[in-house]
Amino acid sequence: LWMSSMDKDQGPYEREMIIVSTDADDFIVQHGTNVLVMDIEGAERELLQHAKLPGIERVYLELHDHLYGLDGIRDITQALALKGYAYDPRGSRGPCVLFGKDDGPREYEEVEPDAA
């Protein structure tokens, strides 16, 4: 069992590392990215509050309420809403959630009841 985190209060730690990072918006533009998938152990809260997400149509992330509580989830959903994203229940399950900008046609598949 292992994990990593940039949160100094989340431990215990085996070792500390120096990492190189880049600006998320610069990376998105440079690579023509249109979907953002994140599991960054609590850092999604800060990233989504500050990044502009140019050209991103969908954001898929894992929420870490054990790190930032419901206040953090509220911060994330508000930051995404201010950028024009809405929660999409069709791509979400438990703490793994999808937010999208596209509000095109939404059709439901009809499910045949089991024949008894």
Show pLDDT as tens, one digit a residue, over the chain (116 residues).
Answer: 455 666 666 666 677 778 888 999 999 999 999 999 998 888 899 999 999 999 999 999 999 988 889 999 999 999 999 999 999 999 999 999 999 997 777 676 666 777 55
d(CA 100, CA 11): 33
Residue 80 is which amino acid?
A: L
Residue 9 CA: distances (Å) to CA of 13, 37, 42: 10, 25, 11
- Cα 73–Cα 78–Cα 82 angle in degrees, nearest 5: 155
Q: Is residue 73 part of a domain?
A: yes
Q: Is residue 32 part of a domain?
A: yes
Report how many domains make up the chain: 1
Q: Given this model, what pLDDT does residue 115 score?
A: 56
Q: Given this model, what pLDDT does residue 116 score?
A: 52
Q: Is residue 49 part of a domain?
A: yes
Q: Is residue 6 part of a domain?
A: no
Q: Is residue 10 part of a domain?
A: no
Q: Is residue 82 part of a domain?
A: yes
